[in-house]
Chains A and B, each alone.
Chain A
Amino acid sequence: MEQTWKNAKAVFAGALGPPLFWLVLFFLIPLGIVWIYSFGQNQGLTEISFTGTFANYARALEPLYLKIFLKSAWVAALTTFLCLVLGFPVALAITFAPPKAKTWLLLLIMLPFWTNLLIRTYALIAVLRTEGYVNQVLGWLWTKGGGLATLVGLQPLPAFTPLELLHNNFAVVLGLVYVHLPFMVLPLYSALDRLDRSLLEASLDLGAGHLRTLALIVVPLSLPGILSGVLITFIPALGAYLTPDLLGGPDSQMIANVIERQFKRANDWPFGAAMSFMLMYLTFIAIAAQGLLARRAAGGRS
């Protein structure tokens, strides 16, 4: 059993002291300062006075910024949904794979996860841009198709205009799905892996089809795991900076881009601080909602 800290004060202090000190000094205090700034006001170029004003929050709720918040939440939700749809069959296949294949499939999912985020985003740019490989292939097919059309006596096709695949919302969602897919697959896998297989077999034996077994047995039983996968994908997608910055166009800004601009270019720290904390509160709301839903999902069964 756990022992009380009084029995070994030296060991306790020696073990907890340094990490707690680090956490307070290099994490909680910096966040606290940002929090205080969010109630402050710009005074001249670098001075910030703490006036206890809520003006920054009021500004963050103006339609212009509210729209960006809603849009970010929508993009993150769409990303999460697509990851779930793409990832669930993958997790299912990994779960019921023989041990050797399981190892390789997990590696297959993990390796992009370990690869640098910037490099993966860059790889997508190279694929999607106007002179990118997707447009190359499409253009090639177009000219071949055109050649075929003239062969059978049809009008020749007009020249191929490359698709605009980059710098729009489509690219942002695609990029976010690309980056976050492993985040979804791994928790799904660990949830499915814990399922009692005899329940699935019983359902199949009793005549339910695979889809019905999935819908009525697998999904309800693994619901807490599904919810944690949803959360683990949704949170980083909501706060994504790099993907909308590099793949998005002028209208695909997300919260993180607005925050970055306040701190780096617009130099309006109090407002940026308020936006950061709005994002943080949204994150905490998402976590609380997940906790509540997971508890209900677990409680409903017992």
Chain B
Amino acid sequence: MSRPRREAPGPLEYLRRWPLRAWLAMVAVFLYAPLITLMAFSFNDSRRNIVWQGFTLKYYEKTLHDAVLLEAFGNSLTIAAVSTVLSVVLGAMAAFALWRFRFPAKPAVDGAMALPIVVPEICMGVAMLVFFAKVLPWPQDLPWPLNLGAIIIAHVSFSFPFVAVVVRARMASFNRELEEAARDLGASEWRTILDVIVPHMTPSLVAGALLAFTLSLDDFVITFFTSGPDTVTFPVKVYSMVRFSVTPEVNAASTLLIVVTVILTAVALRMQGDPAAAAAHGAPDKKS
């Protein structure tokens, strides 16, 4: 049903009514104005960061030569990459097992898997602090990626249940006759999983990976409690900078991270195909 363009709004075309448009514009300004000013003033040639004094890239140059900040950025990306891989594997396995099998205590396992999603971050943060202080003291002077181990473990713990939820939602649309057909045609259990089930999962694996990567890159609270004094991630570093004052260097560093986020999002959306579904994080087969 396509309507001609210039007509009075249909009864349910709320988007074409001006009060809602004004509301949307207001919300958009509310959400974006702070971020856009932040990005704009990272190019401002003035330390005081208020009045526009002309275009400069010097704060980017400074940021890109700031060894500590770069190390923190590298750490964050490494942690995000490793914890994403682990989370996707563990999340897919959990989703598969919970989707496929009936077993005793299933509701308990189900509930426990949902726990990391609902438990407040601060509680999980202190749990990790206590765990890595008392039970599994993570050595301080390990060589680089290994010194990030504790943070990676913590990030996997809160990411993989999210991946499991996304993958399980996808598996709900799986046609089990496909699996039966594969078995009838002589495929073994593992062969069926690899050739029939995993391909069906793939879009949700991509969505889950994106989610896990963003969650990891975004996390401050849990990392703040898990990291030792020598391992600094980007949010932890920015936090210590922000505590002091608002500086153009922080603006520049933040802008870089925003750009990384936007690029990642664009790539993920392209890989996912339908952006509306992808934006809703993971119900890729919901076509309404």
**Any B CB within 8 A of the CB of A116:** yes
Residues of chain A lying within 8 A (CB to CB) of residue B59 = none
Instruction: Place the interface of chain A in its size category.
Output: 35 or more
Query: Is chain A's binding surface mostly helix, strand, loop or mixed?
Result: helix
Stretch among B62-70, B93-101, B138-146, B199-207 lining the A interface: B93-101
Residues of chain B lying within 8 A (CB to CB) of residue A193 = 288
8 Å CB contact of A263 from B96, B126, B262, B275: B126
Please, how many angstroms separate the alpha-carbon atoms of A182 and B192 in the complex?
Answer: 39
Please, how many angstroms separate the alpha-carbon atoms of A216 and B51 in the complex?
Answer: 50
Residue in chain B with minimal CB distance to A87: B27
Residues of chain B lying within 8 A (CB to CB) of residue A115 = 35, 257-258, 261
What per-residue 1/0 map shows which CB atoms of A22-39 lie under 8 Å from chain B? 110011111101100100
Number of interface residues of B (CB under 8 A): 97
**Any B CB within 8 A of the CB of A97:** yes
A116-B218 in contact (CB<8A): yes
B34-A124 in contact (CB<8A): yes
Residues of chain B lying within 8 A (CB to CB) of residue A197 = 12
B276-A99 in contact (CB<8A): yes
**Any B CB within 8 A of the CB of A215:** no
8 Å CB contact of B238 from A89, A118, A126: A118
Stretch among A13-21, A50-58, A149-157 lining the B interface: A13-21
B115-166 contacts to A, CB under 8 A, are 115-116, 118-124, 126-131, 134-135, 153-154, 156-157, 160-161, 164
A-B residue pairs, 9 tightest by C-beta: A239-B120, A30-B131, A16-B97, A19-B94, A123-B34, A30-B127, A15-B97, A106-B279, A256-B122
What per-residue 1/0 map shows which CB atoms of B21-65 lie under 8 Å from chain A? 101100110111111011001000000111100000000000000
Please, how many angstroms separate the alpha-carbon atoms of A209 and B190 in the complex?
Answer: 58
The residues of B with any CB-CB pair to A shorter than 8 Å are: 11-15, 20-21, 23-24, 27-28, 30-35, 37-38, 41, 48-51, 89-91, 93-94, 96-103, 109, 112-113, 115-116, 118-124, 126-131, 134-135, 153-154, 156-157, 160-161, 164, 176, 189-190, 193, 214, 217-218, 220-221, 225, 235, 238-239, 242-243, 246, 250-251, 254, 257-258, 261-262, 264-265, 269, 275-276, 279-281, 283, 288
A239-B34 in contact (CB<8A): no
The residues of A with any CB-CB pair to B shorter than 8 Å are: 1-5, 8, 10-12, 14-16, 18-20, 22-23, 26-31, 33-34, 37, 86-87, 89-90, 92-93, 95-99, 101-103, 105-112, 114-127, 129, 131-133, 136, 178, 181, 186, 189-190, 193-194, 197, 200-201, 204, 235-236, 238-239, 241-242, 246, 255-256, 259-260, 263, 269, 272-273, 276-277, 279-280, 283-284, 287
Residues of chain B lying within 8 A (CB to CB) of residue A90 = 23-24, 27
**Residue in A89, A131, A194, A200 whose Cβ sees the most chain B Cβ within 10 Å:** A89
Residues of chain A lying within 8 A (CB to CB) of residue B269 = 107
